[in-house]
Structure 1
């Protein structure tokens, strides 16, 4: 199905590879990482990256584990699970924060979501909240068995859509002793209401489109996709939100990766539109840190969820001055601000 320019939720990274030169070229990194300062090779005594695969309910999940400098599997280390944004992959912002946390002394893991990236699952690009939440539980399962991990000291960091899914995972999975989110994106609220609640009047029409897509899958086997738009640079410049405009630059140009796409099966909307990251926020009794840029047009989602987190007395809303949503993914001064806060938060609470 074709969405309007307003509805087009960013862009598939793959479409631009023939004409776009990436500032962080995945082809120049042996691990296909696309963030500044990424590990290029494992060196003894330094932070190392370990590509791994594991089974999750019959699907093969592809992940990267980062170990701190002078890692000794006979010792005990705190660990942090990092959940990537909607449409993102482990080689982008999730990998950047996982590496930076490993530089601070944590064992970290970030995995491609099932049905997405390099992980298994058909059809491709299913985006169902229960799957994404289970991905986070699965990362905790795997890292809990990793040599050197202290299972009593596991934290969780969710970025963008991964932040919304991390909120839900931590509500019930008490292996996570502390929860942090960065530029949290409530996928259910946005798919249901539109960005900045701009499409409430069309909810029923869009639900019918999703229903028709599911019926078509059953009847013909043909998969309908949404969120994927072939827009020119001029069209992108006219998009009304920084998240969309800067997301295009990030995912198509400066940090493009062939496994990263913002399309999702239209039938996924049946699950997305009845789901909400903010429900049951009172179940979070762990220390909570929610971070977002002061200029992020997605800030309202972090503020709304934070206000509902009544089950913990140890919570903080931290605003990164001057940052937009996407700028928290890669702009050094904003990443440094977020990391300074994360290091203190996890050091204190796990």
Structure 2
């Protein structure tokens, strides 16, 4: 459990088709196509892929991967879906799997790196901010809604793990988001402030905040914030024996061949935790109604209680889907377990 508590505190081309090319090259924000495939999953020949960049309202440059149906027609406008990464992940991992698969099914889909992380800008690196990470969803809506091939009245979002909480929080105030789906959701503010399954006592929280305050002075004096050690630079082939079950599960995905990516560091700067302790994410989840929410979780996910509690708090219309046999990380990348048919029908219905 000590290892778990430490983890929770620290975890914090194919050539583009002519139609798509004509559309994309008309937009200055779209970068030149690249032949380099740097994802953890296999490239599909049924979609067109393009790296794009745009700014959020803080002036940070967001890097994203846009996936387009190969049959995209210049005279039509398409529904779009924005996909957020698991907490500490990057767009080249699970979020990209979702975006590519949904593009195969007829949507414009985009996976993005959060501010200060991955290929997005922002200094110092690996800062985590509930406010800015929520803003990153709205910035993605800004970008998608100004593409000539996107119907801005038909934009939905998907949040995986920690970005599930950020997606819901963005939807509480951003009425342009017409439908929300979460998978293996984590409420990062809740777990950082209250501990695993709300086990932190007021005295423990007070001591943690005292330590974070002391750390801010150290960070200021050193000119750079303390960044806990992250996942190995190169993929490893085993899980350390001393790890608790939850940390072991994250290690299996992020540190091993399954999901390892060199830009996915894992933990965030230590003092990032202060903001989460002061920023509850889902106080206004009922206000998302009458826009729909689809909650998806694994039957055996250690994170089930976040989804179950959020589902109970949300107003109708809402739906809960439990994937038999799935753990938390299985909904990152297990395409045989991720209910893509359900996601497709959900967004097809509510973005029509």
Question: What is the TM-score normalised by the length of structure 2?
Answer: 0.85
1:52 Cα shift? 0.9
Residue 330 of structure 1: how far off its partner (Å): 1.8
From 314, 322, 333, give the equivalent of 1:330: 333
Query: Are the aligned partners of 2:164 and 2:183 in contact in 1 as well (CA < 8 Å)?
Result: yes
1:47 aligns with 2:47: yes
Partner of residue 43 from structure 2, selected from 29, 38, 41: 38
Structure 2 equivalent of residue 165 of structure 1: 166
In the alignment, structure 1 residue 287 sits paired with structure 2 residue 292: yes
Q: Displacement, 1:106?
A: 0.3
Distance 1:195 1:48 in 2: 41
1:86 aligns with 2:87: yes
For structure 2, the 5+ residue unaligned runs are: 12-34
- In the alignment, is the contact (CA less than 8 A) between 2:83 and 2:158 conserved in 1? yes
Distance change in 2, residues 1:340/1:227 (3 Å): farther
CA RMSD of aligned residues (A): 2.2
For 2:7, the equivalent position in structure 1 comes to 9
Q: Deviations over 1:194-240 (max 9, x none)?
A: 2233433621111112211222223442311247478x988744433
**1:110 aligned to 2:111?**
yes
Q: Which moved more, 1:203-212 or 1:232-241?
A: 232-241
Specify the alignment match of 2:17 in structure 1.
Answer: none
Task: Answer yes or no: is the 8 Å Cα contact 1:293–1:320 preserved in 2.
Answer: yes
Rounded Cα–Cα distance in structure 1 between residues aligned with 2:146 and 2:170: 19
CA-CA distance at 1:73 after TM superposition: 2.8
CA displacement at 1:123 relative to structure 2:
0.5
SS of residue matched to 1:265:
coil
Corresponding residue SS for 2:5: coil
TM-score scaled by structure 1?
Answer: 0.86
Structure 2 residue 348 is matched with structure 1 residue 347: yes
Do the aligned partners of 1:74 and 1:147 also contact (CA within 8 Å) in 2?
no
Partner Cα distance (2:100, 2:238) in 1: 35
CA contact (8 A) 2:231 2:265 kept: no
Structure 1 residue 62: Cα displacement:
0.9
Q: Within 5 Å, give how 1:227-266 maps onto structure 2.
A: 228=230, 236-242=240-246, 244-253=247-256, 254-266=258-270
> What is the number of residues matched between the two proteins?
320
Secondary structure, in 3 states, of the residue corresponding to 1:212?
A: helix
Distance 2:217 2:341 in 1: 49
| 2:162/2:187 contact within 8 Å kept | yes
1:94-173 to 2 correspondences below 5 Å = 94-173=95-174
What residue is the counterpart of 1:26 in the other structure?
none
Aligned pair in 2 of structure 1 residues 330, 156: CA closer, same or farther (>3 Å)? same
Query: Is residue 228 of structure 2 the alignment partner of residue 222 of structure 1?
Result: no
Say yes or no: does 1:267 pair with 2:281: no
Structure-1 separation of matches of 2:70 and 2:279:
40
Of structures 1 and 2, the one with the larger relative CO (CA 8 A, separation 6+) is 1
Query: Is contact 1:289-1:317 (8 Å) kept?
Result: yes
Matched, 1:213 2:219: no
Distance 1:177 1:229, change over 3 A: closer
* Contact 1:188–1:275, Cα closer than 8 Å, also in 2: yes
When residues 207 and 233 of structure 1 are mapped into structure 2, their CA distance, relative to the original with a 3 A threshold, is farther
CA distance in structure 1 between the aligned counterparts of 2:244 and 2:85, rounded to whole angstroms: 24
What SS class does the counterpart of residue 70 from structure 1 fall into? coil
